[in-house]
Structure 1
């Protein structure tokens, strides 16, 4: 068994033995399950893309992103928090300066520390180039940051955050940078966690930065490279979310199949009725299509085709998940409405997956722009008619 296969098995075990038996308790306690995250770290789930010399697994994105399908079977937004952490760990291991990397990478891969990625602001959700949080670059290379961020996952729980900032007052993207800000940095604070539809244990809140100063070695991407680094992180996140949606679909399908197989009505199993069979066949097709999309995107991350591939996956799979889970709930009848239950929780998580890291509509914008560029390469109508 390859290392990638072992990590997938570890993710499956974590989902079945750690998430599923405890997720209802997590919801009621409102506390992020730090102990569960530490257990995940022991099995290599918090350093997927980081080199082994720093305690990571050294996996490619194609090898590592299927982990989030397994975790998504247990709880989709818990899986999402791990995807954010792994993006931070990857960025620090791959692009961080030596002092920062040597200090933080072993902590992040071992679960002694958690990481968060911070881009969104109140006035700039999907428009990453409109960042207003401002950093002054001091003479010694340190950054002093002022501003606010919104929708910060693992707010006040993560130990280090990668924060996207502007370094001048000029409009545009040429001055955007990304810096690492430890949670205990003076001037960094968080608002009250948002009240959300689901996954109340995952803190998401506003971040406030008031004269937050970090040293030069905390710069991950200097001015001019911060936006491209952020966009790559978004591609990874979108593909990971698509994988997590497959977990939502597959767990819901398993529940519906088991229920329909075991429930007897009109002298036979519910699963023997053609209407039920066709409903679940459509769910199975959506699951297969979603898997192909996210696995293709994972393979292409970092290439010129990666962004559009991630957009296709993020555009299709959350919609497919919402559609599939509703179908599975229908198969369960009234039982599907009972709480707490995995299928009811999946039904609440699926719409969130459509929103985070770029809405469904934003993915259509990305795809449409690629089509416009492609259209410019096509022969004219007259040339096509001649052919």
Structure 2
């Protein structure tokens, strides 16, 4: 029996094979977001994965929907990343937005007619989200006046609405943080020059500036006091989504290396007959299988007390494996791996990008380390051996 997940994964595979793979190099050459491609993704149901069916979404649980990015990642990790962030925002709009916001935006977002993105990071702060300068003043009529800047905003100037985290006082900490959606055409909202990126030029990334931006209270996603908690949940979903996309990237690298090695004649056989090549690619294959198991377990844990730690494990382990896989598979191709048509350079750079965004692997290690300290507190002290340390 074919399930909805099966249908969506089949649609993602078709989208990858028919739209992403044949065109990604041209997208990068043009340096423009392929809106026609994301429109096609929307028509296939890939832009409302977790949103309720009542709003035109697929209604998939996070643990199932996140698997889509593995399929899209076989075509391009940056494209998969952008759609994953859109889906997170769509999930937030349909689940936490006001009735007015849902009426105005939900179906346009689930269909992909409108794109959304998340704005948390600021120029002076990355993983330290509480070190935030963006401020919202709540006016007497209920509107919010917002000033500040965000950095590393993906789909900058291309998305139609930005789910933006702000503080509402000058007090330190996170108890005054909130999330509000700012439409692109809001007066006072602007974007800086696009960042120059090496292998994902089609994905616009830049800073976002808010100069006396006035937004209706109807656009509040998370009220004052819930902004950080909601943002951390969004980041956990993003981290697992990135791990999913990395698995697709690893498979793409592995298949390229296998396709090359099986036909490369050397020492009276093919490269793939050599033990050294088999061992190199065998290690990639094992780490790909382990990565799949880990990100899927993490996806199923989202929303539970174990979710943040599992997301950290996935974001720590899987992108590291992707970087290693891209480098190993490039090595298998030898000099040919340096040539643009084989795409290995693009995969290497993308793997490094995915290792950094939405929390570096070092930040994941911090999360894991804190959990280990808590675990240690609950363990009994080991006895000191008799005579140890005595003089």
| TM-score class normalised by the smaller sequence | over 0.9
- Asked if the contact 1:46/1:86 (under 8 Å) is kept, the reply is yes
Give the Cα separation in 2 of the matches to 1:131 and 1:164.
9
The residue number in structure 2 matching 1:22 is 23
- Asked if the contact 1:66/1:243 (under 8 Å) is kept, the reply is yes
Instruction: Please state whether the residue corresponding to 2:190 is helix, strand or coil.
Output: strand
Once the two structures are TM-superposed, the CA of residue 272 in structure 1 deviates from its matched residue by 1.1
C-alpha deviations, 1:72-93, integer Å up to 9, x for none?
Answer: 1101001100001001100000
C-alpha deviations, 1:140-187, integer Å up to 9, x for none?
Answer: 221110001100000000000000000011000000000010000010
Distance verdict in 2 for CA 1:383–1:235, change over 3 Å: farther
The residue number in structure 1 matching 2:285 is 284
C-alpha deviations, 1:232-264, integer Å up to 9, x for none?
Answer: 000000000011111110011011111111222
Give the Cα separation in 2 of the matches to 1:255 and 1:341.
8
Give the Cα separation in 2 of the matches to 1:383 and 1:186.
68
The residue number in structure 2 matching 1:163 is 164
Provide the aligned C-alpha RMSD in A. Answer: 1.3
- Asked if the contact 1:24/1:340 (under 8 Å) is kept, the reply is no
2:315 matches 1:310: no
Once the two structures are TM-superposed, the CA of residue 358 in structure 1 deviates from its matched residue by 0.5
The residue number in structure 2 matching 1:48 is 49
Q: After superposition, where does 1:72-91 map in structure 2 within 5 Å?
A: 72-91=73-92
The residue number in structure 2 matching 1:192 is 193
The residue number in structure 2 matching 1:61 is 62
Give the Cα separation in 1 of the matches to 2:120 and 2:149.
10
- Asked if the contact 2:240/2:298 (under 8 Å) is kept, the reply is yes
Q: After superposition, where does 1:202-217 map in structure 2 within 5 Å?
A: 202-217=203-218
Once the two structures are TM-superposed, the CA of residue 53 in structure 1 deviates from its matched residue by 1.1
Give the Cα separation in 2 of the matches to 1:292 and 1:35.
33
Once the two structures are TM-superposed, the CA of residue 383 in structure 1 deviates from its matched residue by 10
Q: After superposition, where does 1:200-239 map in structure 2 within 5 Å?
A: 200-239=201-240
C-alpha deviations, 1:185-236, integer Å up to 9, x for none?
Answer: 0100000110012200100000000110111111110111000000000000
C-alpha deviations, 1:113-155, integer Å up to 9, x for none?
Answer: 0001000001110011222100001122211100011000000
Instruction: Please state whether the residue corresponding to 2:303 is helix, strand or coil.
Output: coil
Instruction: Please state whether the residue corresponding to 2:340 is helix, strand or coil.
Output: coil
The residue number in structure 2 matching 1:357 is 358
The residue number in structure 1 matching 2:128 is 127
Q: Name the count of aligned residue pairs.
A: 385
The residue number in structure 2 matching 1:319 is 320
Once the two structures are TM-superposed, the CA of residue 384 in structure 1 deviates from its matched residue by 12
C-alpha deviations, 1:65-112, integer Å up to 9, x for none?
Answer: 110011011010011000010011000000001110121010011111
The residue number in structure 1 matching 2:111 is 110
- More deviation, 218-227/257-266: 257-266
- More deviation, 256-265/274-283: 256-265
C-alpha deviations, 1:261-281, integer Å up to 9, x for none?
Answer: 122222112111111111111
The residue number in structure 1 matching 2:95 is 94
C-alpha deviations, 1:308-348, integer Å up to 9, x for none?
Answer: 10011001111111111111111111111101432221011
5+ residue gaps, structure 2, are 387-391
Give the Cα separation in 2 of the matches to 1:267 and 1:224.
69
5+ residue gaps, structure 1, are none
- Asked if the contact 1:50/1:93 (under 8 Å) is kept, the reply is yes
With the length of structure 1 as denominator, give the TM-score of the two structures: 0.98
The residue number in structure 1 matching 2:377 is 376
Instruction: Please state whether the residue corresponding to 1:68 is helix, strand or coil.
Output: helix
Moved over 6 A (4+): none
Distance verdict in 2 for CA 1:320–1:384, change over 3 Å: farther
